[in-house]
Structure 1
Amino acid sequence: MTGTQAHEDAAPAARETGRRRIHPAWIVALVALVALIGAAGFRAAPGVLMMPLHEEFGWSMAEISLAVTINLLLYGLVAPFAAALMQRFGIRLVTVIALITISAGSALTVFVDSPWQLMLTWGMLIGAGTGSMALVFAATITDAWFMRRRGLVSGILTAGSATGQLIFLPAMAFAAEAHGWRIASLIVAAGAFAVAPLVLIFLRDRPSDIGAARYGEPADATPAPRPTGGAARLALTALRDAARTRTFWALAGGFAICGATTNGLVGTHFIPSAHDHGMPQTTAAGLLAVVGIFDIVGTVFSGWLTDRVNPRILLGVYYALRGVGLAFLPTLLSAEVQPSIVVFIVIYGLDWVATVPPTIALCREAFGERGPLVFGWVFAAHQVGAAIAATLAGVVRDQTGHYTVAWLSAAGLCVVAAVVSISIRRSVRTADRARAAR
C-alpha cells in the first residue's frame, strides 16, 4: 500500500472522528465532577458546625475533633478498598452507594445528643461514604477513561471537592447562623442524595461498556481485563508490593503531611481559630469559601503542569509555599479581614490540593496499572495525617487557648514534605512509562 493510499484510507476515519462532537470520556468526567461536588458538602461541615455544637451541648473541642478524626481516618482507609471495589464491581454501583451513605449519615446527625452519636454519624457513616468518594475516585475515573490528558483530568476532578466546598460552605454557614446547625446538616444530606440519580443514569464503568476506547487510545485497542478476586485481596496485595519500595513511603509520608495541613488543620480548625481572634464565623467561612475558588484554579493548573513538568519538582514547590503561609498565619488572624489574610487565603487556595495531580502521576509512573490502588493507600496516609492533626490541634486549643503551636508545627512539617518529595528517585523504566502515558 502506498503512502497516498494509506492517507486516503485513513481520511474517512478522521472525518468520522471530526464529526463526533465530544468523546464519551469527557461526559463521564463531567458526571464524576458533579458527583464529587455533591459528596463534598461534609468536607465543609466540621469547620462550620464545631462552634454551634460546642455552644449547644458544651462538648469540648477535643471531643468534637475526635468525631472528625474518625471521619478522616475512614475517609482515607476506605479509599483503597473502594478503588478495588470499583475495579471489581464497577464505578457506578460503588459511587451510588457512597452518595446514599453520605446522605443518610448527614440526615441522622440532626438527632444526636451525645458525643458517641456524633462519632457514629459524622465519624463512621459519613467517613465510610466520603472515603468511597475520595480522591481515589478521581484517579480511577482518569485511569479507566483517559490515555491522554490524565494530569489535566485528575486536576479538574480533584477541583470538584473544592467546588463543593465553595457551593456548600457559605450556604451552611448562613443556615447554621440563621436556622441552626441541623438545617445546615440537612443541606449536606440533600446535596449528596440529589446527585445519586445522575450517577446511576449517566455514569459508565469502562469505555468498553459503550463500545469506545479511552480518550487518546486507538479505537482497536484491546480493553484491559476486569480484575478478578476479592476487592480486599486486590487492595492488600497492591499495598504489600508497593510497601517494598522507597517511592511508596516517600509519597505516603509527603501526602500524610498534605492531609495534616489541609483537611486536618485548616479545614477543621481555621474557623474556630479565626473566631478566637474575634472574627465572625460567617466571615471566616467566607474566607474558606475563597480558598475553594482559588483551589479550583490551582488544581486544574497543577494538572496541566503535571502533563509537562517533573511532578517531584511540583510537589516540592507546593509544600514549600504551604509551609511559608502557615508560618505567617498566627500573625495574620484578627477580628477584621485585612489584606494580609486575603493574600494568605489566595496562596493557600492555589496550593490546597494542587499536590494531588502530581501524586497520582507518580503513583502511575512507579506502579503502572496498579497506580489507582496504590494511590488509594497513599491517600489513606493523607487522611491518617489529617486525623492526627485534627485531634492534636483540638488538644492544643483546649490546653493553650490558641492554635499558634499547631500552625507553626505544621509549617515545619511542610519543609520535610518538600525535601522528601524532591528526593523521590526516577528510574529509566518509570520515565519511559510516564512519557507513554502523557
Structure 2
Amino acid sequence: MEQVLFRHNRPDRSVTFEEYCAEGGFDALKKALTAMTPDEVQQTVIDSGLRGRGGAGFPTGKKWSFVPRNLPGPRWLICNGDEMEPGTYKDRVLLEKNPFSLIEGVTLASYALGVRHAFIFLRRDYETAAANLQAGIDAAKKAGLLGERILGTEFSCDIDLHLSAGRYICGEETALINALEGKRPNPRQKPPFPAVKGLWGGPTVVNNVETLANVPAIIANGAAWFKGLARNPEGAGTKLFCVSGSVVNPVCIELPIGTPLREIIDQACGGLKPGKKFKACIPGGASTQFLSEAHLDVPMDFDPVVKVGSRLGSGAIIVFDEGHCLVEATLNLIKFFARESCGWCTPCREGLQFVKEILERIERGGGEERDLDLLRDHTRFLSYAFCAFAPGAMSPLDGLLANFEDEVREHITRKRCPLKG
C-alpha cells in the first residue's frame, strides 16, 4: 500500500531535514511557487476530495474557498494540533516521526490563501513533537523555504509554533482563536465565520495537522492520484487510524480510507486479545457513537460511517470486548466532557453534569426506568448548546442507547452492573 503521511518515517527516530528533501520533500512547494497560481493550488486540493482529518470531515479546498479575496488587511492560517480527545493520538505520532510534511503543507496552504503568517497551535504535552517542529521550522527557514521571498519568488511566509495552555475546548476552532489571542477559550458566535472574521478580526482558516500534512503529496502527484488511493469510490486518500482498547496490537497505522473496520482490527491490530470477543467500538474518537458487531464490515470513510449512525471523526478506534461494561465506558467519557466544558452555555455546563449523575446512579444500581427517558431527552436537549462540544459529548450516549439499550436496562432491573458479579 502506498504511504502518504508515513512515507518518510524511520522506525526509531524522526526523519532529518536532509533525508526529507532527498526523498522529494519540498518539491511540491517548489512546483507550486514556480508553476502554479494560488487558485490552481486551491483547485487541486478541491479536486482531490481531501476532507478535514480533525473530526468534522469538511472538504478542505472548499473551506479555503470561503476566504474572500478582496478583503483588506492580513489573513491567517492556524494548524490545530491541540489533540486532547481520549483515544486520539495520530497527530502526535505523525509529528514525532516527521514534522516536515506539516511544515510544507502549512506553507502550501498559506500560498493558496494569501497568508503571510501562519500558526501551529500544539498541545503543550507534546514536547517531542514541539521540539521536532521548531527544529524543522528553523531548518526550512535557513534553507530559504520559509521567511521572506521564498525560493526567490514574491511569496513570503513565516510559521510560529504556539504551545497551548490546555483544555479540550481549544480544539473548537473559534475557542482556539480566542486562546491564541490570549483570551479565555470560549467559542465565538457564528456567523461571522472565521473565514471572514477570525484571528484579530481577519480572514482565518483553521485546519488539522493530518489534513495539512496531506497537501504536499496532493500537489506533487495530482488530485486524481490522491482520490485513487481510497478503497471505496466516494473516498479520497489515506487515513491515520489509531486503535486502542482490547486488541493484541494497539497501533497508529496509515491505511487507504474506506478500509473495512473488521480488516483494521483483525489484520492491522492482530485481532482481539486472546480469549476475548468483539462487543463494540468507538470508531472516531470519544465524541462518536458506539458501533456494534453488526457494523464490522462498514468502510471506514466519512459517509459510510454516517450511514450506520456514527461518525469517522478523527479515526481513533477504541475497541471493547464482551467483558467491558459500556455504561461504565460511557460514564467515563461523560466525566471527561463534563470536566472539559468551558461552562459558557447552560445546556453544556448543567446538562453534562446531570447526565453524569444519572449514569453514576445507574452504574451503582440505583437506576430507574425513567432514567432512560431522561438520557434520551438529553441527547436532544444538548444539541441546543452554543457550540458542537455538547452534541459531540452526547454521541457515545446516543450510541449506547441506540445499540446497547438492553445493557442499560439490565443495570436498572438487576440493581447492579451485570458484568461485575
TM range (shorter): under 0.3
Taking structure 1 as the reference length, what is the TM-score of the superposition? Answer: 0.23
User: Which is helix-richer, 1 or 2?
Assistant: 1
User: Which is strand-richer, 1 or 2?
Assistant: 2
Taking structure 2 as the reference length, what is the TM-score of the superposition? Answer: 0.23
